[in-house]
Amino acid sequence: MNHQEVFGYATEAQLNEFLYSFQLLGQKKASKEKQLATLYAISNHLEDHYKTFSVQKRNGQMRIIYAPSPLLKGVQRRILTSLLNERQDSPFATAYKNGESIFLNAAKHARQKYILKLDIEDFFGSILFPDVMNYAFPKAIFPKRISGLLTSLCCYHDALPQGAPTSAAISNIVMKPFDDYMGKLARDMGINYSRYSDDMTFSGDFDTAYMYRKAKMFLNDMNFSVNHAKTKVLTRKMQQKVTGLIVNEKIQVPKAYRKKVRQDAYYASQFGLRNHLAFIQQSNEDEISTEAVKRYQLVLLGKINHILCANPNDKEFLNWREKIKGL
């Protein structure tokens, strides 16, 4: 008898007890019935529990972030720690994991003859409600009703929201079949493979066209689309970059990137974050909200930390990090 057959004999009270055992609202004083009602109320009115804003990516483009309310964020964090962190993802997935970093991911592909880079278009937005339910909360583990509720609490507009604490872990769980298959295929052929979020990298002396076809076919079967604009084959005669780091010889950040971050850090420290952000956006200072200033500070710190990943002892950027933190 499988789990679903067992759950089929469970009473409403037993299913509620199963859900309540996850303590998704924490140790609250409210009654069990009220806590369960709150979870269903959140899932039925998700539009009241998300705030949408944009942040600038390293390439200058904007990324849409869906920030959950404190209440929903707390629920998602408990789903992450109680249910998702116990799930095993692929060893070839290197993002969103303790002990991994963009530096370690890039180091796997240093000093290689060829590098094939693939990118999934609209990665989180392409992981849909059925994918989350089938992979993260499968019927082999959860009763259908509870699986549906947990999936609703982790999705927004029927897809994974970039900004929810659960989205990263779920994306790795969904991608596990792809990672395991492509990773084993690559390893058997003497090729290095890793996936950092939506960035897939193959490196070595190999037939890049063959690996591209295999990866694209598998991704298409999973209803993902390859971002052709970001598909690249890099040789040793070219600048080989993996997760933003140059890997031809030693791991390093591009000089142009260092120069731009140094410039932004200087102007922000000299004239203030708000003033510099207004200059970048070509607007007046009084049009820049405190929230926007804080987001820009985090973006700038993220860029500095990106540089420090390649050289943690870089005194110049260690100094810039402390200055920007203090603004």
Side-by-side strand order, sheet with 232-235:
192-196, 199-204, 114-119, 232-235
Residues 192 and 308 reside in one and the same domain? no
3-class SS of residue 95: coil
Residues 284 and 211 reside in one and the same domain? no
Residue 97 lies in a domain: no
Residues 22 and 149 reside in one and the same domain? yes
What's the CA gap between 27 and 199, in Å, rounded? Answer: 39
- CATH number of the domain within which 116 lies: 3.30.70
- Specify burial of residue 59 (Cβ count, 10 A radius: 0-12, 13-18, 19+): exposed
Residues 115 and 183 reside in one and the same domain? yes
Residues 241 and 271 reside in one and the same domain? no
Residue 64 lies in a domain: yes
What's the CA gap between 181 and 185, in Å, rounded? Answer: 6
Residues 165 and 74 reside in one and the same domain? yes
Task: Please report the pLDDT score of residue 102 as a whole number.
Answer: 87
Residue 196 lies in a domain: yes
Q: Using alpha carbons, select from 61, 60, 73, 271 the residue that is nearest to residue 164.
A: 73
Task: Please report the pLDDT score of residue 2 as a whole number.
Answer: 42
pLDDT digits (tens, 9 = 90+) for 172-229: 999 999 999 999 999 999 999 999 999 999 999 999 999 999 999 999 999 999 999 9
Residues 266 and 310 reside in one and the same domain? yes
pLDDT digits (tens, 9 = 90+) for 35-71: 889 999 999 999 999 999 887 776 667 888 999 999 9
DSSP states of 63-131 as a string?
Answer: EEEEEEPHHHHHHHHHHIIIIITTS---TTB-SS-TT--HHHHHHTTTT-SEEEEEEBTTTGGGSBHHH
What's the CA gap between 152 and 135, in Å, rounded? Answer: 14
The answer to whether the CB of 179 falls within 8 A of the CB of 195 is: yes
pLDDT digits (tens, 9 = 90+) for 99-124: 888 889 999 999 999 999 999 999 99
Residue 292 lies in a domain: yes
Residues 115 and 221 reside in one and the same domain? yes
Residue 192 lies in a domain: yes
**Mean of pLDDT over the chain:** 91
What's the CA gap between 29 and 13, in Å, rounded? Answer: 20
What's the CA gap between 54 and 291, in Å, rounded? Answer: 12
Q: pTM (2 decimals)?
A: 0.82
Task: Please report the pLDDT score of residue 13 as a whole number.
Answer: 73
Residue 78 lies in a domain: yes
What's the CA gap between 46 and 149, in Å, rounded? Answer: 12
Of 246, 280, 309, the position where a domain reaches its end is 246
Residues 79 and 27 reside in one and the same domain? yes
The answer to whether the CB of 321 falls within 8 A of the CB of 301 is: yes
- Band (pLDDT 50/70/90 cuts) for residue 10 is low
| Statement: residue 5 has pLDDT above 50 | no
Say if strands 114-119 and 232-235 run parallel, antiparallel, or are unpaired: antiparallel
Task: Please report the pLDDT score of residue 6 as a whole number.
Answer: 43
Q: Using alpha carbons, select from 236, 221, 198 the residue that is nearest to residue 109.
A: 236
What's the CA gap between 15 and 142, in Å, rounded? Answer: 10
Highest-confidence range of 152-161, 268-277, 286-295, by mean pLDDT?
152-161
The DSSP output letter for 164 is: B
In total, the chain counts a number of residues equal to 327
The answer to whether the CB of 309 falls within 8 A of the CB of 103 is: yes
Residues 35 and 157 reside in one and the same domain? yes
Tokens 């939506």 sit at which residue? 198
Quick one: how far is CA 300 from the chain centroid?
19
3-class SS of residue 149: helix
Q: Using alpha carbons, select from 306, 314, 325 the residue that is nearest to residue 105.
A: 306
- Band (pLDDT 50/70/90 cuts) for residue 1 is very low
Find the domain containing 222 and state its range: 102-122+175-246
Sign of CA dihedral 180, 186, 192, 197: negative
Residues 72 and 112 reside in one and the same domain? no
Of 246, 269, 295, the position where a domain reaches its end is 246
Of 149, 169, 189, the position where a domain reaches its end is 169
* Total of domains in the chain: 3
Residues 60 and 10 reside in one and the same domain? yes
pLDDT digits (tens, 9 = 90+) for 77-100: 999 999 999 888 999 999 998 888
Q: Which residue has the higher pLDDT, 24 or 28?
A: 24
CA 150-156-161 angle, to 5 degrees, is 100
| Statement: residue 29 has pLDDT above 80 | no
- The one-letter amino acid code at 327 reads L
- Band (pLDDT 50/70/90 cuts) for residue 30 is confident
CA 12-18-20 angle, to 5 degrees, is 100
- Band (pLDDT 50/70/90 cuts) for residue 16 is confident
| Statement: residue 27 has pLDDT above 90 | no
Residue 72 lies in a domain: yes
Residue 180 lies in a domain: yes
The answer to whether the CB of 192 falls within 8 A of the CB of 112 is: yes
